[in-house]
Amino acid sequence: MVINEEGEMGERLQAGLKLKRIVFRILRAARVHLGQNRTAHFEPAVEDYRRYWEGAAQILSAEFVPLADALWEVRLNGRRTRIMNRMVQLGDPVVNGVSGDKALCYRLAMEQGVPVPQYGVFRLEELSEAKKFLAQNPGVYVVKPVRESTASAGVTTHVRTERQLENAAVSVSLFAKEFLVERMIFGETCRLLWLDGELIHAVRQRGVRVTGDGCSTIARLLKQPGSGSVPFDLTTQMTLQAQGLSPETVPEDGREILVRSLRPGLDSSREWLTVHDDEITDLVCPAIIEDVRKVLGMIGNTIAGVDIITNDPTVSLRQSGGVLLEVNPGPSIHKHYINPEDHHSHPVAVKILSYLLQVSTANHVLLPAKKPPSTFSER
């Protein structure tokens, strides 16, 4: 009698993963019930989006008509468009499906020569292959769904060991069949909002920065008054390493250095949803704009929120070591309301509504140009 030990070991491994998956599901449900959910969501209320769109409609002298709790119609001189909370009438299901497939977007970006993180695509039953990928390419990784995800659900960062990878794979399997194991890029996350091939607004989640004086090391600069309490943890180490720096580096006088890609207080133990706090529209360099334009041209997006990671948006992704991270088909304009003035002038909402209603943003005059398919005339 021949015993297939490898087969039996594989069966035991799969059985163990199934059991761990059940345990993870129970633990996650318990955390949610107790208010200890690892996923930190910052979902805007319907009332917030109503204020955004209604304020923009008033600026355009358009009529804002509620149709349901989170469904509104904006009318202007015989033209109208409908908005459902954060969703506008732009795009189509096929384009949205392509945008939502992170692995496919990476392949399309690579075809255009646009930098993306090193990555592999796996299923839970292929965990052994994922572990081989990790062993052959040592580093710090992020595990996240290929598709079928919302916000940061199922995302685990700072994965370095096989055990961490196994736990992350089981966790992500609660949300999606396939998952990405992608190299973690230590830089600031930026959201670029695109409309009809043009960048209309950009924001970033600002990390911790210091300014050199020509004689102090980075470690010493971090101890100066006003620098706050910055832990010298893995995130800080990797952020410096990505720029070819160390705590003992002495930056030249006036040089601003990104020393930590996340603000103090944000760690890897929770699934954080990125909160942007710095407007950078005028800082985004032409090379980044051209890279994103090429990728969106391949996908077909009319409107999209594109995430990139870079430590310096004024230079190309290649120069900074940055990457294109994700293409989001919806505008999610709440991410662009970061200054008090935004809640009065509604710059992003006005531009989107103007496009939908074919209105000139300069003088709010109706344009004769052909209307987008999302706008229709009243009968």
Q: Give the pLDDT band of residue 143 (cuts 50, 70, 90).
A: very high
The mean pLDDT value of the chain amounts to 84
82-113 pLDDT, tens digit each: 999 989 999 888 999 999 999 999 999 999 99
- Domains: count for the chain: 3
Identify whether 326 is part of a domain: no
| Long-range Cβ contacts of 361-366 (<8 Å, 24+ apart) | 364/59, 364/60, 364/61, 366/76, 366/77, 366/79
Model's pTM, two decimal places?
0.83
Same structural domain for residues 50 and 32?
no
Same structural domain for residues 152 and 27?
yes
Identify whether 123 is part of a domain: yes
Q: Give the pLDDT band of residue 17 (cuts 50, 70, 90).
A: low
Identify whether 256 is part of a domain: yes
Average pLDDT over residues 251-280: 76
Same structural domain for residues 180 and 215?
no
Give the range of the structural domain holding residue 136, as residue numbers without chain letter.
1-37+118-184
Same structural domain for residues 33 and 51?
no
Identify whether 353 is part of a domain: yes
Same structural domain for residues 135 and 180?
yes
Q: Which amino acid is at 53?
A: W
Specify the CATH number for the domain of residue 158: 3.30.1490.20
Same structural domain for residues 87 and 125?
no
Identify whether 223 is part of a domain: yes
Among 36-50, 88-102, 168-182, the least confident range: 36-50
Q: Between residues 160 and 34, which one has the greater pLDDT?
A: 160
Identify whether 322 is part of a domain: no
Which of 230, 260, 290 marks a domain boundary?
Answer: 260
Is the pLDDT confidence value at 4 over 50? no
Same structural domain for residues 123 and 180?
yes
Same structural domain for residues 176 and 75?
no
For residue 369, the model assigns a pLDDT of: 44
Same structural domain for residues 14 and 154?
yes
Same structural domain for residues 172 and 80?
no
181: Cβ–Cβ under 8 A, 6 or more apart, which residues? 119, 120, 122, 130, 133, 134, 141, 142, 143, 159, 165
Identify whether 105 is part of a domain: no
Average pLDDT over residues 331-355: 90
Identify whether 194 is part of a domain: no
For residue 12, the model assigns a pLDDT of: 59
Q: Give the pLDDT band of residue 291 (cuts 50, 70, 90).
A: very high
Map tokens 């509504």 to a residue.
353
Is the pLDDT confidence value at 56 over 90? yes
Same structural domain for residues 76 and 174?
no
Q: Between residues 225 and 214, which one has the greater pLDDT?
A: 214
194-223 pLDDT, tens digit each: 999 999 999 999 888 889 999 999 988 888
